[in-house]
Structure 1
Amino acid sequence: MSTTEQPDAAGIAYREVTDSMGRMYRVGESDREILGYSRKLMVYLPWVAMMAISVFEYAYGSAEDVLSSAHGWTQSNTFWILSVWTFFQAGVSFPTGWMREKGILTARRAMLTGSVLALLGFLAISHFHNVWLAIVGFGVLGGAGSGFVYSTCINMVGKWFPEKRGGKTGFVNGGFAYGSLPFIFIFNFAFDTSNYKTVLDLIGVFVLVVVALCGWFFKDPPKNWWPAEVDPLKYAQANKKTARSLAKNPPATKQYTPIEALKTGQLPLIWVLLVITAGVSIFGISFQVPFAKDVGFGPLVAANSAGILSVVNGVGRGVVGWLSDLWGRKTALIFVILVLGFSQWGILWAGNMNNEALFLIFAFFSGFGGGAFYPMFASLTPDYFGENNNATNYGIAYSGKVVSGLFGGGIGSMVIDRWGYDGAYTTAGVISLVAAGLALFLRNPGYPRGSRKIEPNPQPISREVV
């Protein structure tokens, strides 16, 4: 068995190891040799950047009334602005991933571009009374900027932590929700038609600075990179936490191209599941505060329900990411979808009973279920299809949110206009249960169909040096 080593362009020695299924791993290079610092920074910096851009989606609902009064917009106008934002935030994920993996767009450049576009988004809703200009500025430019940042941050974590990505991805993803908490309270208690321009302009500058500073340090690992301290062919001998995570969520059997991933049928299934679950989540984000106000709850309850939703939404992503390392991604995903569905009925029930305490309790569960599925999809995709093309493969999966934004926000508003909150919340709960049923068909392609246990540590057929 050969053990010869060869240096890369930077003079760092590495080996390429191939297991019995043909999966190649590049081993021998430490994170510090590649980055100059610990890969942990590739968790904390994406996390901070995600918190900065969370204001777009999770705090927007709390600003809608003031925006409507200041610009003369209808409720439908403000909902469609968010829907267009969602469309572009998710829609740029695939082209961003494709450009990154083709070498056209570096991670740093994607973050810097996103930071500038985010600023333009806030300037648009601050200074433009014309709703179409607001849609172009906040919806198109702000959405695209947020998408650049979101997709880059999520894929950065998956690439640098292939052996224990669940908890790390959930932690970073959580910042996209609870990072909005300060802005939710600003919009509810210190935001009105006399100061809205100043507040929005300052928020835009804040997002620009934070995202640009974080993105400056972003760098992808080499293709096929695997941490030097974990033998990919003997991962059962790794520390207990890592070995358990890899046993429940074994590495992909190969590095699937987007076409190959689509042909497995699993990537299209992940896309459909994300469409449904994200649609219900966006519906909850968009209408929970208006529903609270509609049933007569005061502004404090409305603000607290939005705050609870964003905090638990974010914390839940980290918790479920950690649980998925223990239970497996599929089991954790089904659990989250069920919580999301039942909580929609609970919110409706509590609102109709005019019970504020019960409303906040179900807002807690809705927030938990409404965000925790995102890191599951972000982790499932490289688990099933590998890391090398993950930015593109996950871009395809995450593009399902394009459709979700349409029926979760804009179409959700139409359903409420026609059937009221009772019909809308009931429907949201039902389609969540349908998604949970579909999730039962998820499986890691390349492993035997229907097998109850995936055999760990496939033996090497070659241990070659490049």
Structure 2
Amino acid sequence: MTAEPIAAGQTPDTAGRRYREVTDGHGRVYRVGETDRDILGHSRKFMVYLPWIAMMAISVFEYAFGSAEDTLSHAHGWTQSNTFWILSVWVFFQAGIAFPAGWLREKGILTARRAMYAGSAMCLVGFLALSHLHNVLLAIIGFGVIGGVGSGLVYATCINMVGKWFPERRGARTGFVNGGFAYGSLPFIFIFNYAFDTANYTRVLDLIGCYILIVVLSCAFFFKDPPKNWWPSDIDPLSFAGDEKNAVSLAKNPPAVKQYTPKEAIRTGMLPLMWVTIVMTAGVSIFGISFQVDFAKEVGFGPLVAATSMGLMAVINGVGRAVVGWLSDIWGRKLTLVFVIVVLGLAQFGVIWAGRMHSEWLFLVFAFLSGFGGGAFYPMFAALTPDYFGENYNATNYGLVYSGKLVSGLFGGGLGSMVVAAWGYDGAYALAGGVSMVAAVIALLLRQPGRTKGAPAPQAVA
């Protein structure tokens, strides 16, 4: 079969597919003409479901760890401070790898598939270390450093994949994928609370490591990035014609005015502002994850309430990410982000109130709200970054923003334990609530670089 003639203004790529590049009034280039099936051989919806499955697999690292701490302490002879620092180091490296991994991906040195392969193997090493190493320093290196880097590679690759394939309505899709990183841990939370002890901990942890390896490897085989500047062929990137379904989202969250390099994104002032906001908000979230079960036990709630509160937090944390992703397509990212951070802050004060009243049902209500706020801000930053700075350098730009979590891990987990020791749980939760409210005020200062408020979509240049 002979290839169809190429129309004026169209260019063939190496596979013979036809596309054209459209430039808007700001100078941003959009590559249109190729469908997702032309590039992938199937629907781009797979680039939502596969990252979602991989994210659920690695969620056990962060959201179930708190439920395993008591058994690990008894099995290995660790103190509570030891286990908190293991998680803190994990958070540091899980977040810290996002920027260098993004840089390697955008330089073409590390493909999405290879990043996932490497990440899956390192995740396995992390759980083997937690299972077999009694020396706390070696466990920190194995689980915290190697496991943190591995899970960070998987996390960052999955989030960036969604943003690249859905530039026209990334909020709902990003939120859905991000949600898997929380509620995917639910079965393990109950396993760690009811079927995990010093007699079987080695076998359980080894099996979890193998589970992560198999699931992530299976998903990674199908990973593929779209070409740079790619835009869905059925949507006009200048007027958004042909996309009535997503017209509201594109009006509330217009595409970035250009493809910002990391240096350019930093110079706008918005990327540093996002970094500060995520440092504060993620710190509050990690604090809640680390101490909610212990606080529940401290005030006299039974193990069922403690486990249920953590399970509830994980489920709502994940579901909330999907909900606010969808909501941000209607309200706009910034307004939704501020709303989420305020809810997170208020929930910290509510936990104190429930503890003082010794009310189990009230405690579960605020665990619900804390879980919602403590996860829902992540997809907002993941969607805001390409909204503000474009998709071409998103792996690096989002890596810079997400690196704020490595600082959060230090004061949310390790330093959080010091605050609890010095001020008690009431003082620590009150401080967390105050930090969250300050973060909400800072988030109000965010704005899309280069676009004046209420400006219409730019028209094509002649």
What TM-score comes out, normalization by structure 1 length?
Answer: 0.97
1:159 to 152, 155, 164: 164
Is 1:218 the counterpart of 2:219 in the alignment? no
Distance 1:454 1:158 in 2: 23
Determine the structure 1 residue equivalent to 2:177. Answer: 172
List 4+ stretches of structure 1 deviating above 2 A: 237-241
Determine the structure 2 residue equivalent to 1:460. Answer: 460
2:304 to 288, 300, 307: 300
Is 1:80 the counterpart of 2:81 in the alignment? no
Distance 2:10 2:261 in 1: 28
Equivalent residue letter for 1:245: S
The Cα shift of 1:454 comes to 2.7
Distance 1:423 1:249 in 2: 39
Determine the structure 1 residue equivalent to 2:410. Answer: 406
Distance 1:378 1:172 in 2: 11
Distance 1:217 1:333 in 2: 32
CA deviation digits over 1:213-246, x for unaligned, max 9? 10111000000000001110120x2333311110
Is 1:247 the counterpart of 2:248 in the alignment? no
CA deviation digits over 1:332-378, x for unaligned, max 9? 00000000000000011101211000000000000000000000000
What TM-score comes out, normalization by structure 2 length?
Answer: 0.98
Determine the structure 2 residue equivalent to 1:227. Answer: 232
2:17 to 5, 12, 20: 12
What is the correspondence of 1:30-109 to structure 2 with a 5 Å cutoff?
30-109=35-114
Determine the structure 2 residue equivalent to 1:277. Answer: 281
Q: Give the CA RMSD over aligned residues.
A: 0.7
Is 1:389 the counterpart of 2:363 in the alignment? no
Distance 2:441 2:242 in 1: 35
Distance 2:435 2:296 in 1: 22
Distance 1:290 1:218 in 2: 39
Is 1:370 the counterpart of 2:374 in the alignment? yes
Determine the structure 1 residue equivalent to 2:4. Answer: none
Is 1:350 the counterpart of 2:351 in the alignment? no
What is the correspondence of 1:287-326 to structure 2 with a 5 Å cutoff?
287-326=291-330
Distance 1:46 1:229 in 2: 24
Q: Secondary structure at the match of 2:23?
A: strand
- Taking only the aligned residue pairs, the percentage that are identical comes to 72
CA deviation digits over 1:146-203, x for unaligned, max 9? 0000000000000000000000000000000000000000000000000000000000
Is 1:267 the counterpart of 2:267 in the alignment? no
CA deviation digits over 1:305-324, x for unaligned, max 9? 00000000000000000000
Q: Secondary structure at the match of 1:292?
A: helix
Distance 1:9 1:399 in 2: 36
CA deviation digits over 1:385-437, x for unaligned, max 9? 00000000000000000100000000000000000001100000011110111
Distance 2:26 2:9 in 1: 22
Distance 2:455 2:305 in 1: 48
Determine the structure 2 residue equivalent to 1:336. Answer: 340
Equivalent residue letter for 1:150: Y
Distance 2:420 2:339 in 1: 28
